[in-house]
Each structure stands twice: as structure tokens, then as C-alpha cells.
Structure 1
Amino acid sequence: MEDSKDWLAEELKKVEIWEKDQSDLWFWEKLGRLPFKFIDKWTPTFIQNKIGLLIDELGQYVQTGGSYLSSTSKVTSYYPKEVVQTLEDVKNLFVSTMDSAVDGLTKNRKNLATVQGASTGIGGIFTLTIDIPLLLGLQLKTLQDIAICYGYDPNDKKERLFIVKCLQFVSADIVGKQTILSQLSMFDSQDEVAKREVLSEMQGWREVVFSYRDQFGWKKLFQMIPIAGLVFGAFINRSAINDIAEAGKMLYRKRRILERLQNPTIQ
């Protein structure tokens, strides 16, 4: 569909409605956090240590991309090669075309997460340590590929900071979500002072790990049981990828729409 100003403004309203809807999660998030202290108290040390390693891995990702960095050459995997060959080509596509590419990517990653969660859930607590870094890697790669679909380069450290903020957004409470949305609204600000403040604030990526660790609370509880963990692992991993893909799509989509609305050539 053509990116007219009226269409873009209407789509921006939909994203803003989605942002407001995130407040509906408040009660369930508070309820869901109740058992975390008890779960952590009885979780074996080697599981806790594995989760703790996420701090170092996320730090490496922000700085260098580490082993999680996606290649922008994959852009032709999401669009016909005769239409798109570089990220610059993607930037000229209609937003609706970008949306379709992300929807296809999301479906593929959800299926992959389901299989991954089921296979690592069979062994219960013994295979949970394998599942944790695998799921983190899949979430990061999904967000990076969504960035590529909207024409943003995950090789750019700025984009990796945005991706980590998306990761934090999914597992934050309503107060945290509002703060993150406020930060991201200034992410592409032309005001250099405001931009520096946001980037400086976002360097505190370690806070992401604590909320991310809470996200594994239920996972640790249900996947500790061998065989039964297969069902819970498949469901939880699929749900985790669905949530991260939805947030990534909405937040990156909003950036692209706002950029298009500022383009004087669009009527």
C-alpha cells in the first residue's frame, strides 16, 4: 500500500494505541512476580550462574555484536533479490511491504522457538541451562532481523542499544515500559544534547538482565520437570518470541513511519 501521509498518520495511531494497551499487563505482571523470590531461592547455583552470564553476553553484544550479530547481507532473504539488494533499497520500500516481511519472519521464528523449547525441555532442569542462551540468541537475532526489514543496520552500535531496549521493554513492568517509550521517543532526535542523554542512559544495559532474569521465573519452575518440560518449553519459548517480535515490529515501525511523515516529498 502506498505511503501517503494520511495512511502513515493512521498507522501511527495504531502503534500509539498498542503502546497504551501495554498498561493492561500491570495486574498480571505484579501477580506473576510473586513467586520469583521463592523460585530463585531453590534454584540450583549452576542455573543461577548461567543466567548471570547473560550480563556479560549482553554487554559484549552492545559493544561488538559478539556471536549474536546478524548480517545485513540477509536482507535478500526477506525481499526478492531483484527488488532489494542493500539496506538502502529497503529504505525506499512501502511500510506495508516491510510489515509483510516482518510477519513472515515472525512466523518462521515462532516455529523455530517452539521446536527449540520442546527439545531443550525434555531433560527438565538438566537441559534448561542450554535453553537459556539459545533463547536469548534467538530473541536478539529476531530483533536484529526486524531492524533489517525496516532498513536499519544492526552493525551500528546505536541500533544494538535500541534492540537491547526493546528486549528490556518486553519484560518491564508498566512503569518501566512508560520510561522506555519515553527514552525511545527521543532516540532519533536531532537535538544532540537530548540524543547524548538518551544514549548515555541506555548504556546502563545491565538493568535489562535483571528483568530478563525475572522472565525466566516461570520457565525455571515448570521446566525443571523432565518430559513435562517439553510442553512448557515449547509454549514459553514460542510466547517469548511472539512478544519480542511484536514489540520489535511496533517500535521499529513507529520509527520508520515518523521518518516518512517528516519527508516533505510524501503527500
Structure 2
Amino acid sequence: MSALSPYEQKALVNIEQEKQRRLSTSPRRLMPPKVKAVATGAGRRVKDLPGADRAADAAGRGYARAAEGVGKFLSRSSQFTLSSRRVVRAYHRRGFDVEGLEDIRALDLQTIDGVARFKRLANLYAGAVAVEGAGAGLAISGGALLAVGGSAGAGAAAAPGLAVVTGAVAGDAVAVLMAGSRVVAHTALYYGYDPEDPREEVFAMSVINLGAATTQGAKMSAYGELSRLTQLLARSAPWEKLNQSMLTRVAQRFAAKFGQDLTKKKLGQLVPVAGVVVGAGMNYALVDSIAEAAYWSYRERFLRDKLGQAMSVPLQPDAPPDDVESDMQVDEAIDLLGLLEDEGFDTTDPDRP
């Protein structure tokens, strides 16, 4: 344990303020106003498309089939084209004596802020997946048009429209999750945490969970999970049982649930033309939100580790935000700790009553 510098003490105060801001932010602000307006109308109209529910269900099943490969990607972070050596070299170029990631965690936070370009990382990954989302939105919209034109009354559930919609939504969800995973891993490296460590892979999934949370209840659950995870990370015994096969199964189930939730959020893409705008806007907003969650979560963990403390759970605001457009929101965060427990991992804390 070590004392925090004045810069770090101020940063810790800012972290707590950010938690309250995030909890007080309405789900409507996850997208730019113009994109939100399109998505709102699209979400209402999509229910009137014949077969829309069947198409959405099929898209979810398509993603679930793809989840096996995504889970392997999440649980084998060596597949990331990121290098801890490059991050170490970035610190070297600024004149800091850093030989490995663990040395970064001994630096002052002000030094990290001077080396890392977190906003640039967020824009890079969010921008790339926005382009992909526009393409997916076009394919999804085209699929709906094909269905309507090809089979009167069948709507979005008709062939070939159903196949186009299912494939596009599944592929789009995979791209978003992979981009989110990469920006979290990249952020972790700059704070001195190794994304190839199985423990860190679990923590990274929890950060993605927070970034994808839209409602106040989901955010509170995600913050609570991060706090419990940092308590578990301080105990070595439970992690000795986390083998690669267990981690892969957890990652696959997490990926499947993430994709199913994202499919619900992107129902607006089934509306012709609007799908392009909604696809690009939602992809950018979601990956940007995940990048922001990574920035603040690893920032707090970096400081709490210096103090020998677990991450804190914020107080719930007295006035909850208005959860409008509830049909486009996912009300519950993914229970990552529950997934671990299902695989036989002990998440109990002996210090808790």
C-alpha cells in the first residue's frame, strides 16, 4: 500500500463524481439526439412489421451459434493484436524506467495520463465499429425490404429476408463485442494490467458489462459486481481453480447473453433506411460507452490497488432517470459472477456477513 499523490487524490474524487453522473444519465442520452429520434420511431414501427418478432428471435439464435467462437476469442486474449511490449515502449519513449506491466502500477497516475491517449483509443475503436454498423444496418434494412417485396404479408420473417437479417445482426453483434473487448484490453495495458491473465479476462468482461448497461438498475448491478471482483482478486485461492476450459465456457455464455441483449436494442435496424443511421449510431455509442467504462474502472482500480482497497459501489441517486423507450432497453446487467458460480467457481467472500 502507498499514499496517493495530490493528483491521484483529486482523481479519486472525480471517479466518485463520475459514478453519480453515470447513474443519473438517462438511457436516452446513449445516442445522439437525432439518432435517438430515428431509433425511437423505428422501434415503434418495427412491431408493425409482419414477422418482426420471428426475425429478431432468429437473429438472437444466429448470434448464439456464433457465441462459441466469440467466447474463445474473449478467453484467449493472446489473439488480440495488442502488445504489452508496445505499451512498455511507449513509457520508455517518455523517459520512464518500465520493464514490465507491473512497473506501470508503481507510477503516478499523472504519468499514465501523460503517456496514454485514452480518448484517441475510444474514437479509434468506436469509429471503426460505427462503419461496420452502418453496413450491417444497410444489410438488415435490405433484408426487410426483400422480405416485404418477396412474400406479401410475410414481412421481415420471409426468406430471403430472414436469412439476411439473421446473418447481419449476428455478425454485427460479434463485431461490437470484439471491438469492446479490444478497447478494454488496450486500456488495461496502459494502466499496467495484463489482459492475458485469466483473472483480468474476467474483470474485463465485467467492465464490458458496465459499459453496456443502460438502465440505472443495470448500472448499479454492474458496479456492485466490479466491487466484488476486486475483493476476489485480492484472494489467490479461488483463482487457482479457474482453468482455461472453465473460462472459455463462461466467456461463451457471456458472449451469447451480450448478443441477445444487443439484438433487442437494435430492433430499429429492421426498418428500411433508418437501419443505417441506427446501426452506425448505436455501435459508436455502445463501444464509446464501453471505452469510457474501461477508462474509469481501471483508473479507480489502479488507485484502489495502491490503497489496498476494493472498488466502491456508488450511492443510488434519489431521483432515478426516466427509463423511456423501455422496449429498446435491457433492464438487467449480465450476471457474470453467477456464470462463474455455475461453473463451480467460489465467489463467496469470507469477510462478508
Choose the corresponding residue for 1:87, options 101, 104, 107: 101
Q: Please give the alpha-carbon distance, in whole angstroms, between the structure 2 residues aligned to 1:154 and 1:163.
A: 8
Q: Please give the alpha-carbon distance, in whole angstroms, between the structure 2 residues aligned to 1:213 and 1:237.
A: 15
Question: Aligned with 2:195: secondary structure?
Answer: coil
Q: Please give the alpha-carbon distance, in whole angstroms, between the structure 1 residues aligned to 2:231 and 2:87.
A: 27
Match of 1:265 in 2: none
Contact 1:98 1:149 in 2 (8 A): yes
2:214 is aligned with 1:214:
no
Per the TM alignment, residue 79 of structure 1 is displaced from its structure 2 partner at its CA by 5.2
Per the TM alignment, residue 134 of structure 1 is displaced from its structure 2 partner at its CA by 1.2
Residues 71, 224 of structure 1: CA spacing in aligned structure 2 closer, same or farther, 3 A cutoff?
farther
Contact 2:23 2:219 in 1 (8 A): yes
Contact 1:168 1:208 in 2 (8 A): no
Match of 1:260 in 2: 306
2:31 is aligned with 1:17:
no
Q: Please give the alpha-carbon distance, in whole angstroms, between the structure 2 residues aligned to 1:76 and 1:196.
A: 26
Instruction: Work out the percentage of aligned pairs sharing the same amino acid.
Output: 22
Per-residue CA deviations over 1:63-89 (Å, capped at 9, x if unaligned) read 433745743234268656464674345
Per the TM alignment, residue 243 of structure 1 is displaced from its structure 2 partner at its CA by 0.7
Normalised by the length of structure 2, the TM-score is 0.59
Per the TM alignment, residue 26 of structure 1 is displaced from its structure 2 partner at its CA by 7.6
Choose the corresponding residue for 2:62, options 33, 47, 50: 50
Contact 1:168 1:212 in 2 (8 A): no
Residues 119, 74 of structure 1: CA spacing in aligned structure 2 closer, same or farther, 3 A cutoff?
farther
Match of 2:277 in 1: 231
Choose the corresponding residue for 2:176, options 107, 129, 135: 135
Contact 1:152 1:159 in 2 (8 A): yes
Q: Please give the alpha-carbon distance, in whole angstroms, between the structure 1 residues aligned to 2:92 and 2:136.
A: 34
Q: Please give the alpha-carbon distance, in whole angstroms, between the structure 1 residues aligned to 2:27 and 2:284.
A: 22
Per-residue CA deviations over 1:146-197 (Å, capped at 9, x if unaligned) read 11111111111111010011112233414522431331341442x456x659
1:58-137 → structure 2 map (5 Å cutoff): 59-61=71-73, 63-65=75-77, 67-68=79-80, 70-75=82-87, 81=93, 83=95, 86-88=100-102, 90-99=104-113, 100-124=116-140, 125=143, 126=164, 127-137=168-178
Per the TM alignment, residue 120 of structure 1 is displaced from its structure 2 partner at its CA by 2.7
Contact 1:90 1:150 in 2 (8 A): yes
Q: Please give the alpha-carbon distance, in whole angstroms, between the structure 2 residues aligned to 1:165 and 1:20.
A: 19
Normalised by the length of structure 1, the TM-score is 0.75
Contact 2:211 2:293 in 1 (8 A): yes
CA RMSD across the alignment: 3.8
Q: Which runs of 5+ in 1 are unaligned?
A: 263-267
1:159 alignment partner AA = E
